[in-house]
Amino acid sequence: MSDPVWTEIDRYVTDLLAPHDEGLEAALRASVEAGLPQIQVSPPQGKLLQLLAQVRGAKSILELGTLGGYSTIWLARALPPGGRVVTVEADPRYAEVARASIERAGVGELVELRVGPALEVLPDLAAEEAGPFDLTFIDADKVNTPEYFAWALDHSASGGLIIADNVVRGGTLANPDSDDPNARAQRRLHEMLATEPRVSATTIQTVGSKGYDGFTLAMIR
């Protein structure tokens, strides 16, 4: 599902409210040149992540799914001095592109990039007591979003935010008969949220340059 108007509006909003600095622009260019899939958050979505981190006063951020580091840079730019983003990427080639872009953007000191499947890296982070996190952005393999959410819940600060990307993709979220494992995982996430007393959450559908999708925002009570 897509509409040229959605892209046009994203471009309009981007130009006025979410323009790229050199670091973000170079990160996108590097990602295209390296042949990475162009599935990073849109500029208005990157700006939303940054605003949420700032509203929360986040000092400690966790991201699952770095890709070329584009969303990482938006998030890192929200940090106060001494803050930290831990970002996890399974693909070593993507991680190398991200590492260079993060350095180039001048936020290398604030970002710790961990390479490996998140389900393997998260236990290491727990052992290192890397948390608690003020904001977690879940944007890796969608089938594991509920597992990542459960982990984030146990490693979030009180008042912390958890954002899960791509929960609506294809509009299958409300279809109980879908046999798409990704869609089923997003339903599992929502069922978990419905009965989880530790969080207050909602899901917002979105349209834009990335088509029709949506994200879940949860706050730890």
**Smallest distance from the beta carbon of 128 to Mg ion, in angstroms?**
26
Residue 60's binding partner among Mg ion, ligand SAH, ligand DHB, none (Cβ under 5 to 8 angstroms by kind) is none
**Smallest distance from the beta carbon of 89 to ligand SAH, in angstroms?**
5
**Close Cβ partners of 47 (under 8 Å, ≥ 6 residues apart):** 17, 18, 74
Site string for ligand SAH, 53-92 (x = CB under 6 A): -----------xx-x--xx----------------xxxx-
**Smallest distance from the beta carbon of 64 to ligand SAH, in angstroms?**
6
Per CB under 6 A, contacts with ligand SAH among 121-140 are 139-140
> By rule CB under 6 A, what count of residues binds ligand SAH?
18
**Smallest distance from the beta carbon of 140 to ligand SAH, in angstroms?**
4
- Interior/surface letters 34-69, b for 16+ CB within 10 angstroms, e for the rest: eebeeebbbbbbbbbbbebbeebebbbbbbbbbbbb
Residue 40 contacts ligand SAH per CB under 6 A:
yes
Residue 94 contacts ligand SAH per CB under 6 A:
yes
* 146 contacts 162 by C-beta, under 8 angstroms: no
Single-letter amino acid code for the residue at 58: A
* 137 contacts 165 by C-beta, under 8 angstroms: yes
* 94 contacts 117 by C-beta, under 8 angstroms: no
Smaller CB separation from ligand DHB, 39 or 192: 39
Smaller CB separation from Mg ion, 157 or 207: 207
In this structure, how many other beta carbons lie within 10 angstroms of the beta carbon of residue 14?
18
Nearest to 10 by CA among 55, 45, 54, 50: 45
Element of type H or E holding 216? strand 211-220
Tokens of 15: 């130009």
Strand partners, 208: 211
Positions touching ligand DHB (CB under 6 A) are 39, 139, 165-166
Positions touching ligand SAH (CB under 6 A) are 39-41, 64-65, 67, 70-71, 88-91, 94, 117-118, 139-141
Positions touching Mg ion (CB under 5 A) are 139, 165-166
